[in-house]
Amino acid sequence: MKIRIIACSFFIIAALLCGCSHLNIPATSWQQVGTASWYGKDFHGRKTASGETYDMYGLSAAHKTLPLGTRVRVTNLDNGRHVDVPINDRGPFVGRRIIDMSYGAAKQLGMVQEGLAKVHVQVIQTPRTYTYCYSLQFGAFTERDNAVTMAEKISDIGYQPNIEEATVQGRQFYRVRLGSFQSLDKARSLAGAFRTKGLVCVIVGQKQQQKG
């Protein structure tokens, strides 16, 4: 039994040392061991895969598969130094390197001169994901009475709109809105139905953070 346990442990450690990135474990405990490199002035000022501008002096990293926006803790196994960085780019695509650090992050890891370092990468924060809900807006009025008149027209054909107050650049507006749709197609379909009745509206979307 002890021999089997030791053998099993050996294969788990070997898998980590080979930089296996396909272990089926929760995102917040995802980890990887392998070789890190860094990239600098040749890419400074260019767009990253996330759309951000690459700042070689900032703290960021590139990874082949982790979702953009993931934050990871990278530890230099040669000296114990670590740095927390967001993944905002793709790479590296040389050999079996597992992560490409910005110059600033590599400097904190103490690996600039060597160029490469054996590192441990662990996910510490997964990116937030969002959904959108959609509403139909039938106008934004500076006079509440005008908003009430529009709301009554919509009520007359069997719908119950809301009047929402909003302040934009110091001015008070009364928005007449209807519904909260998870599907953009459904919102478009209803907007088309209102147009046939002579009621023009626009579709407005609101970003919502997913729970869990």
pLDDT in tens, 128-151: 776 778 899 999 999 999 999 999
Q: What is the DSSP string of 104-143?
A: HHHHHHT-TTTS-EEEEEEEEEPPP-EEEEEEEEEEEESS
What residues contact 132, with CB distance under 8 A and at least 6 apart?
A: 182, 184, 205, 206, 207, 208
Statement to judge: residues 117 and 135 lie in one domain? no
Q: What is the CATH number of the domain that holds 91?
A: 2.40.40.10
- What's the domain range around 63? 26-125
pLDDT tens digit sequence for 55-106:
999 999 999 989 999 999 999 999 999 999 999 999 898 889 999 999 999 9
Q: What is the mean pLDDT of residues 200-204?
A: 91
Q: What is the CATH number of the domain that holds 151?
A: 3.30.70.1070
**Residue 20 covered by a domain:** no
Distance CA 160, CA 176 (A): 10
Distance CA 129, CA 51 (A): 17
Statement to judge: residues 39 and 119 lie in one domain? yes
pTM of the model: 0.54
**Residue 12 covered by a domain:** no
Rg, C-alpha atoms of the chain: 27
